[in-house]
């Protein structure tokens, strides 16, 4: 897979439309987690050395214009971190935006409004694509987290302007390709999070390729139920029990390791009554909210002995301290492992950042769903559009 790079573009004095992934949590008008803003900074600095940089991104899932999802706080945080002015515009396209871009000079950074305020964004509307094309001379896609969406600012514009992949996107693709093509052995995948349905495709795709698959989080209870275990009031997706049961019974099913002990609660609350059960079953009226200490130790030992590791999804409700132990033990093991380690998914990244360990894994991904789709073996629409441009 060869992607065109920004080194192949003529950037001097050009207007560069940069699709970044600045979809960050904002509370009371303040960015509360700037991981993705920091990740976008090196590319912006590289581009503004020669060009006018027009940054675009979505924020949240607005149904039309939503004042709570304007990008003003993100622009302010980018300016603070970057140490350069960021001109935030009030629209995505239109005469006022075009006039502001026309006044800009090389080195200036402008940020368009939330792209999803435009209904044509998610529909990849040709009219919106044409309007975006009037703003810029070249396009750079550096938003891996949205590269799996065929939107106007990912695939549409890439087919109209000379285009390239940004350094962040290239790093993401390289890291995930390393897991797909002859990964160092043993290759261990750690999956967590709430639902099997969110990870079923990657589970099915990767299971034949891995040496071991460690499953915790809420998703483990559908698999435990498929084994005939008692899961109490834990989260279960009944429709998927036959599917995961067949996976467990398949020749590769022996690679799956499920919790042998659990931390359970009498209700879904931070201050719930808790018990640690020395077996992988949950009494009626209780629910599992974390893997137990024996399981955490087993998972950590497996990770430590691996040549390559992919971790997506926490082991429990890590936002609450009483149900964080499993995620913390596994997260530390991933961060300190000597093999090639990739952390993907918003919650896993949040967890490893909470532990202050985000600098230690080989790669911390800015994309959740995009990373999973790539590991399923799909060519992401945004990447496909760039490859078409290079043909």
C-alpha angle 18-21-25 in degrees, rounded to nearest 5 = 140
C-alpha–C-alpha distance, residues 228 and 27, integer Å:
43
Given 82, 91, 94, 369, which residue is catalytic? 369
C-alpha–C-alpha distance, residues 308 and 296, integer Å:
18
C-alpha–C-alpha distance, residues 10 and 321, integer Å:
51
Beta-carbon-side half-sphere exposure of residue 153 (alpha carbons within 13 Å): 32
C-alpha–C-alpha distance, residues 391 and 383, integer Å:
13
Instruction: Report which secondary-structure segment, H or E, holds 243.
Output: helix 241-249
Instruction: Examine the residue annotation and report whether 369 is marked as an active-site residue of this protein.
Output: yes
Instruction: Examine the residue annotation and report whether 218 is marked as an active-site residue of this protein.
Output: no
C-alpha–C-alpha distance, residues 243 and 246, integer Å:
5
Given 120, 156, 193, 346, which residue is catalytic? 346
Instruction: Examine the residue annotation and report whether 36 is marked as an active-site residue of this protein.
Output: yes
Given 36, 116, 229, 324, which residue is catalytic? 36
C-alpha–C-alpha distance, residues 315 and 180, integer Å:
24
Q: 202-214 b/e with 16+ CB inside 10 Å = b?
A: bbbbbbebbebbb
Instruction: Examine the residue annotation and report whether 195 is marked as an active-site residue of this protein.
Output: yes
Given 38, 159, 195, 294, which residue is catalytic? 195
Catalytic (active-site) positions? 36, 195, 346, 369
């Amino acid at each position: 897979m060869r992607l065109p790079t920004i080194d192949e573009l003529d950037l001097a004095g050009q207007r560069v439309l940069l699709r970044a992934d600045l979809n960050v949590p904002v509370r009371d008008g303040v960015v509360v987690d700037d991981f993705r803003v920091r990740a976008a900074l090196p590319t912006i600095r590289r581009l503004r050395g020669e060009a006018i940089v027009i940054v675009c991104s979505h924020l949240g899932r607005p149904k039309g214009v939503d004042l709570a999802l304007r990008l003003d706080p993100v622009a302010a945080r980018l300016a603070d971190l970057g140490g350069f002015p960021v001109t935030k515009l009030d629209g995505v396209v239109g005469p006022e935006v075009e006039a502001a871009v026309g006044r800009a000079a090389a080195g200036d950074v402008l940020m368009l409004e939330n792209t999803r305020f435009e209904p044509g964004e998610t529909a990849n509307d040709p009219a919106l694509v044409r309007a975006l094309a009037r703003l810029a001379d070249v396009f750079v896609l550096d938003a891996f987290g949205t590269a799996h969406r065929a939107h106007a600012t990912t695939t549409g514009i890439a087919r109209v302007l000379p285009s390239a992949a940004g350094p962040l996107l290239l790093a993401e693709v390289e890291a995930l390709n390393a897991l797909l093509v002859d990964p160092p052995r043993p290759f261990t995948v750690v999956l967590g999070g709430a639902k099997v349905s969110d990870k079923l495709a990657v589970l099915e795709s990767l299971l034949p390729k891995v040496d071991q698959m460690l499953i915790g989080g809420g998703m483990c209870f559908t698999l435990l139920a498929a084994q005939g275990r008692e899961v109490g009031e834990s989260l279960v997706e009944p429709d998927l029990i036959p599917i995961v049961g067949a996976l467990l019974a398949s020749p590769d099913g022996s690679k799956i390791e499920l919790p042998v002990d659990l931390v359970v609660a009498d209700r879904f609350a931070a201050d719930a009554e808790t018990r640690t059960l020395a077996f992988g079953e949950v009494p009626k009226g209780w629910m599992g909210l974390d893997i137990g200490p024996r399981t955490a130790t087993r998972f950590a030992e497996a990770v430590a002995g691996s040549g390559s590791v992919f971790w997506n999804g926490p082991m429990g409700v890590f936002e609450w301290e009483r149900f964080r132990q499993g995620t913390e033990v596994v997260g530390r093991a991933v961060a300190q492992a000597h093999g090639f380690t990739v952390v993907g998914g918003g919650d896993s990244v949040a967890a490893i950042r909470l532990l202050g360990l985000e600098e230690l894994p080989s790669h911390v991904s800015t994309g959740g769903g995009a990373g999973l789709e790539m590991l399923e073996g799909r060519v992401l629409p945004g990447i496909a559009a760039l490859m078409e441009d290079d043909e």
